[in-house]
Amino acid sequence: MIKGSRKEKKHDREYLILIDLLARLIESTKGTKLNSETLWLKDTQPLAVKFIMHCGSIFHLARGSRIPNILSKGLSYLDNHSIIVLVRTVHELHLAFNFIYVAPTTVAEKAFRHKVWELGAFLDRQKFPATEEESSKKQQSERAIVDQLIQGVQSNSIFNNLSSGQQKKALKGEWRLGYHWVDLAEFANLDKEQFRATYRYLCSYAHTGYLSIFQMQQGDDLSKRISMIKTSMNSVMGVISHFIYDYIKVYPKTAKLFKQYPKAGQLAFIYHGLGRPTELERIKEYDSLMKILYDALGKAINNLAQKQKHVGIQYIRNYQGTIEFIKDYPRWYRKQYDLPLLKKEIKDLSERDLANWQIEVTEVRGSLQGIKDDIDDSQEQNK
């Protein structure tokens, strides 16, 4: 922030480390080949880049702003109000990414939500006043795209399963399908009530009601503004971490970067807990079970893959069955594998233990997804 204490500099470094990790994840997926079935992924990178740009703007605004030649000398100020408006935008971008690309349980639903999102953009462009001939021609040429997207939405099986109200919204390009932002937060496994309170606070600065002016007058003290900015940046660090984990879910092979940048991975894990409904003990228990799950899956898959050259439907059943078995009998699996961290009592695990553990679990998850992708490719070729 505007002051340069050692603690504040450390906070700034951590903020930039998280942005850097997300940027590296995005960079590693450049050039990903898409086909007609994966074309819905084409906007993941632009959306993520927009997210990073807003996070970067928040960082620079937190340094303080200055307008030259004002009142004969220049006007310097700390614009925490614009920062809070951007924080709201960052929250919304993450929830949009999650709602479209992560929350749906099937690829078909993800592709459908992306198509509705895309339709909304073209419908909005049709509403813009075309004051120049070039703009008018552009709108006319895009009407065919709009018709094509509407037809694609209407003929989709996901569309038929929506309520009549949601169908109307889908055809209008209202991509949230009637859900509120707080609903999207719940879909993203964030604490619903905590997000509701945070979002209301952020909106109170974004809107032009008297409350935004009243709060500006109340927070006129510089130390209060600095404190508010630190709170805002902490919130953004949590959102960046959520975005990092969601991006890895979309592109699992990027998890290898956690090993290359362990400090960033540790920070992402720690801040990933912000806004979650889980307390530390529940996080520890969850990570314990996930470690067992992925370790066992890795062994099961590797053994099967080595024995079978051609993988059939039974393999997939074994894969899914292993997941369900471990979920149902976690204690039994605790006894089967020699996992050093499991020998510690959960209450004795440190944040560093958990961070290191999370990196390992994420790596295993990425490798498992890679194996599954290879299996899916193999099945397609054998059809």
Question: What does the domain layout of the chain look like in residue ranges?
Answer: 1-103+191-277, 118-187, 279-383
Lowest mean pLDDT among 10-14, 76-80, 235-239, 357-361: 357-361
CB within 8 Å of 193: residues ≥ 6 apart: none
Contact 115, 204 (CB under 8 A): no
Lowest mean pLDDT among 119-133, 221-235, 346-360: 346-360
Torsion, CA 28, CA 30, CA 35, CA 38, rounded to 10: 60
pLDDT average, residue stretch 57-77: 90
pLDDT for res 281: 47
Whether the pLDDT of residue 225 is over 80: the answer is no
Residue 78 main-chain phi, psi, to 5 deg: -110, 105
Confidence of residue 350 (pLDDT cuts 50, 70, 90): low
pLDDT for res 192: 85
Lowest mean pLDDT among 62-71, 336-345, 370-379: 336-345
* CA 206 to chain CA mean position, Å: 22
pLDDT for res 21: 96
State the average pLDDT for the chain: 78
Rounded alpha-carbon distances, angstroms, from residue 248 to 233, 280, 359, 376? 22, 23, 12, 19
Whether the pLDDT of residue 113 is over 70: the answer is yes
> Residue 72: left if φ>0, alpha if ψ -120 to 50, beta else—which one?
left
Rounded alpha-carbon distances, angstroms, from residue 97 to 102, 133, 189, 317? 7, 35, 13, 30
- Hey, what are 204's tokens? 């109170």
pLDDT for res 15: 94
Annotate 243-287 with DSSP letters as a single string: HHHHHHHHSGGGGGHHHHSHHHHHHHHHHHTTT-S--HHHHHHHH
47 versus 2: the higher-pLDDT residue is: 47
Contact 61, 82 (CB under 8 A): yes
d(CA 325, CA 293): 9
- Hey, what are 2's tokens? 């505007």
d(CA 371, CA 303): 12
Q: What is the pLDDT of residues 125-168, one digit of tens each?
A: 888 887 777 878 888 888 889 999 999 999 999 999 999 999 99
Whether the pLDDT of residue 284 is over 80: the answer is no
| Other residues' Cβ atoms within 10 Å of the Cβ of residue 326 | 20
- Terminal-residue alpha carbon distance, the chain: 59
